[in-house]
Structure formats: C-alpha cells, structure tokens
C-alpha cells in the first residue's frame, strides 16, 4: 500500500522535532509533523529555556548585593518585568522560527494543526484532512495537572508565569517538585513575596535526602516561606486575589496562586486506545525499549511516555527511534545514569543513585562536605555548598554524585562522564584538583562521613 508519508509525527516538541529531522534529513524518509501550538514545545516555549532565562534574571538581586560587597558602587532601582518580558518574548519568537526553519531545511512537511490517530496508519488533522503514514510517532508531551477546586479558583500554572503582564506582590506556590521549587526561587529573586506549600514532608521527592534538606534550608534562608507537611485545605477567589486556607489552619490572601503539583501526559482525545495503543494508569503511552507501542506502526517518545521527563531524554528517544526505524541502525535510548539539574537558588546537580537507593542495593561509603564557597564567604553571605559522592564499598565505583552549589548543573555534566565510564573513588582521588574552584572538593574528599 502506498502511504502519503513514511512517518507522521504528532507534536513539535523536543522529541518530535528531533525524530522528524533525523528521519527526513539524515535517512531520507518522507516525513510530516503536526503541531497544534507553537513549534518547539514545552522546553522552548514554556519550560527549560524561558525558565533558565528567568533564573538568570532573578539571580541579579543577590548579584548586585554581592557586587557591593566586592567594592562596587551600584544602585539598583528594582526589576523591570515588562522590559524583561519583551526581551523574553522576542527570544522565544527567534527560537520558534529556528525550530521551524530546521524542520523545513530537513525537508519535513509541517501542519500547524492538532492531529489525532485515526487508525494504525492514518492521522486526522483538525483541518479535516486525513493523511496516511507507514509509521506514526506520538510525541505530544505533557501538561500541568490542576485539581478541580484550584482550577475553579483561577490558579495559574507554570505555563502562565511566562505570560504575566505584571509581577504579583505575593504568590503562593503549591507543590514540592523541581518546577515548584524553581519558580519559588525565581519569583523570590525577582522581589515577589513567596510562600510555598508542599504536603509531603520534604521537597524534591526522589532526589538524595541530604541534598533535599540542604536545598530546603537555603530556600528558607533566602526568604521563601516554605512550609512542608502542609497542603491546601480550601481555596477560593477573593477580592484582590485568592484566599487559601492551609491544612495547618493558617489562612491568607495571595495576589496569585501557582499550582505545580505534577504533570500528566497529553493523550486525551488522541484516538490512541481506539487504535489499539495501550495506556498506563496516568494516561501515559506504554512503550517497549524501542519506544514501540502495542500497535507495531505506532511509536511514542518523550513526556507522553512518562519515563524520564527531561528534554535531553526526549531528544535521545526521538533520535534512537529515527535511527532504528529509518536508518537501519538499531539503537535503544539509554535511561541509565541520566544527569539533571534543579535550578533553585542554590542550584542542585545530580547523577546516579541517591544515598538511600544505593544503601538499599549494597554496602556503601558516603563522602560529603558542606562548606562556604570562597566567593560568597568573602561577600559575607551565609550559603554553603554541598558536594557528595556515594561509593560502592566493594567495587569502589562512584554510584552517585550530588552537588548543591552555584553552577552545580555545569559541574554535574562533567562528573556524569566520569561516572558513566565507571570511575572509582580512587580515580577521583588520582585526579589533580583545579585550584581554587568549588569542584576541587570532589577530588579531595578523604574520609567517608558514613558507611552503611
């Protein structure tokens, strides 16, 4: 049977765009892609990129204070959100155009429309058109989840923060995951009075416990009213804002409330189940290690599969799919030892096993140090950095590395290379320090602080 395309990609985000470009540009497949919103997806339009630019913008409050401590005479007149927003919008327009241009140059046909699966080999577009394809890739990502009562009260999600016309005076952030914590730090840095409620007993569930405690302590020291073990009991629109009663009985009116209580895969109304694609409990597309669904012609990559919801992982999965199916080069996306960063203040970089997970797997040694980095110590600031290695007692391999420090994301990227190569504690020790930098602590950790 002759198909209109070799591949139809639903979703123009990190995973979909990479798969389409590789399948078409490198392997010569006839490829089409449908995007219902802006090209580039979550990462480019309402995730990593605008968020990191906001992290930079928010960092200058402390930067200015630090400059003074170093002898600079500076007068800051406050943060001009509209000026920043205008530049942010222009940058996102530029990136969106670059993504679109990349697809066009690779020979991909783009449909600016919502697409749904009609059957194993055809896709229905919102324009009314139906097209056929030998393979379909579902790369529709995820979206913020907001409980009903909160939605009725008109709360915001992370999507809305980038589009605010003005910064609120006060904000309540509900949630304890990385997105909630990052926005708490960003808005705090921009001068907004931030309260954060999280019903769990500590933020950043799933990360290394010691690092979580370290980040939480610094967020509080930085001025965020972070209340853990405390959720929202009641929420309603009120004159001038949103009134929230917390489960500890405290009530307050906030200018804005942001819910960052998790994300759900975008599979609703996509026609997947009718076509035979299996979904998991949270609505995620179930795939095997080749990203293939229960329907052999249909594949899925990225957040919609709810494996590891990070941009570089979606890109790897999309690339591996394209090489496997169109390049006669079978590759599986590798989900082991994926490094990541949480852009809180201070930043947190992590790779490998947490101390808790490693301890459950076998005997370990923990090497850790918390210290005042030279730069902030000189400025009289109280922050401490945390550097931690989790080592297997028998093989001596470094199983995990956790860093809470300025630029921890940059440091963890390089530590991850060594750890992926199977570096032992002694390999770290043999590496001569770079002096004076924070990361030298990683190669000068002499005695374990704990064994288990």
Ligand X SMILES: Cc1cc2nc3c(=O)[nH]c(=O)nc-3n(C[C@H](O)[C@H](O)[C@H](O)COP(=O)(O)OP(=O)(O)OC[C@H]3O[C@@H](n4cnc5c(N)ncnc54)[C@H](O)[C@@H]3O)c2cc1C
Interface positions with ligand X (CB under 6 A):
10-16, 34-37, 41-43, 47-48, 51, 114-116, 139-141, 158, 179, 266, 270, 302-304, 309-312, 314
Distance CA(401)–CA(103), nearest Å, equals 37
Task: Of 212, 160, 148, 204, give the one whose Cα is nearest residue 180.
Answer: 204
Distance CA(186)–CA(180), nearest Å, equals 10
Whether 309 contacts 335, CB under 8 Å: no
Residue partners of 119: CB distance under 8 A and separation at least 6: 275
Task: Please state whether beta strands 251-254 and 122-125 pair in parallel, antiparallel, or not at all (unpaired).
Answer: unpaired
> Cβ 177 to ligand X, closest distance in Å?
10
> Cβ 270 to ligand X, closest distance in Å?
6
Task: Please state whether beta strands 348-352 and 398-404 pair in parallel, antiparallel, or not at all (unpaired).
Answer: antiparallel
Instruction: List the catalytic residues.
Output: 435
Closest to ligand X by CB, 366 or 416 = 416
Closest to ligand X by CB, 47 or 175 = 47
**DSSP-assigned beta bridge partners for residue 14:** none
> Cβ 296 to ligand X, closest distance in Å?
21
Distance CA(343)–CA(407), nearest Å, equals 9
Whether 282 contacts 295, CB under 8 Å: no
Distance CA(64)–CA(69), nearest Å, equals 9
> Cβ 327 to ligand X, closest distance in Å?
20
- Buried-state track 97-131, b at ≥16 Cβ within 10 A, e below 16: eebbebbeebebbbbeebbbbbbbbbbbbeeeeeb
SS (H, E, C) 335-359: CCCCCEEECCCCCEEEEECCHHHHH
What's the CA angle centered on 177, arms 198 and 386, to 5 degrees? 100
Closest to ligand X by CB, 51 or 319 = 51
> Cβ 34 to ligand X, closest distance in Å?
5
Closest to ligand X by CB, 48 or 393 = 48
The secondary structure of 80-126 as a DSSP string is: -HHHHHHHHHHHHHHHHHHHHHHHHHTT-EEE-S-EEEEETTEEEET
Closest to ligand X by CB, 66 or 96 = 96
Residue partners of 2: CB distance under 8 A and separation at least 6: none
Residue 280: count other Cβ atoms within 10 Å of its Cβ.
13
> Cβ 347 to ligand X, closest distance in Å?
11
Closest to ligand X by CB, 125 or 358 = 125
> Cβ 98 to ligand X, closest distance in Å?
15
Closest to ligand X by CB, 14 or 376 = 14
Closest to ligand X by CB, 15 or 66 = 15
Task: Of 217, 219, 141, give the one whose Cα is nearest residue 180.
Answer: 219
> Cβ 405 to ligand X, closest distance in Å?
17
């Amino acid at each position: 049977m002759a198909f209109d395309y070799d591949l139809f990609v639903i979703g123009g985000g990190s995973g979909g765009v990479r798969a389409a470009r590789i399948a078409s540009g490198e392997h010569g497949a006839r490829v089409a892609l449908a995007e219902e919103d802006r090209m580039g997806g979550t990462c480019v339009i309402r995730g990593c990129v605008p968020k990191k630019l906001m992290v930079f913008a928010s960092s200058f409050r402390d930067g200015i204070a630090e400059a003074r401590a170093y002898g600079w005479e500076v007068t800051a007149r406050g943060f001009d959100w509209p000026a920043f927003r205008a530049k942010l919008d222009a940058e996102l327009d530029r990136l969106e155009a670059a993504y679109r241009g990349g697809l066009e140059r690779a020979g991909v046909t783009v449909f600016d429309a919502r697409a749904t699966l009609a059957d194993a080999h055809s896709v229905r577009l919102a324009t009314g058109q139906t097209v056929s394809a030998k393979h379909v890739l579902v790369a529709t990502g995820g979206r913020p989840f907001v409980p009903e009562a909160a939605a009725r009260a008109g709360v915001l999600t992370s999507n809305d923060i980038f589009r605010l016309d003005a910064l609120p005076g006060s904000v309540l952030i509900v949630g304890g995951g990385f997105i909630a914590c990052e926005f708490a730090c960003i808005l705090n840095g921009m001068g907004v009075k931030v309260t954060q409620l999280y019903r769990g007993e500590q933020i950043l569930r799933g990360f290394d416990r010691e690092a979580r405690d370290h980040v939480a302590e610094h967020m509080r020291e930085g001025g965020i009213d972070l209340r853990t073990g405390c959720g929202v009991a009641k929420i309603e629109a009120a004159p001038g804002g949103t009134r929230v009663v917390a489960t500890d009985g405290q009530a307050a009116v906030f200018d804005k409330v942001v819910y960052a209580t998790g994300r759900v895969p975008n599979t609703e109304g996509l026609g997947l189940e009718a076509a035979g694609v299996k979904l998991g409990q949270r609505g995620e597309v179930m795939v095997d290690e080749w990203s293939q669904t229960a329907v052999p012609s249909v594949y899925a990559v990225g957040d919609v599969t709810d494996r590891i919801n990070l941009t570089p992982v979606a890109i790897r999965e999309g690339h591996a799919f394209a090489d496997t199916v169109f390049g006669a080069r079978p590759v599986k996306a590798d989900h082991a030892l994926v490094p990541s960063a949480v852009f809180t203040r201070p930043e947190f970089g992590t790779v490998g096993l947490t101390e808790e997970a490693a301890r459950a797997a076998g005997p370990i040694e923990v090497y850790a140090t918390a210290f005042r980095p030279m730069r902030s110590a000189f400025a009289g600031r109280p922050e401490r950095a945390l550097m931690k290695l989790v080592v297997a007692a028998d093989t001596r391999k470094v199983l995990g590395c956790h860093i809470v420090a300025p630029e921890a994301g940059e440091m963890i990227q390089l530590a991850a290379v060594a750890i992926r190569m199977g570096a032992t504690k002694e390999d770290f020790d043999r590496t001569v320090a770079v002096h004076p930098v924070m990361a030298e602590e990683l190669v000068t950790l002499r005695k374990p602080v704990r064994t288990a």
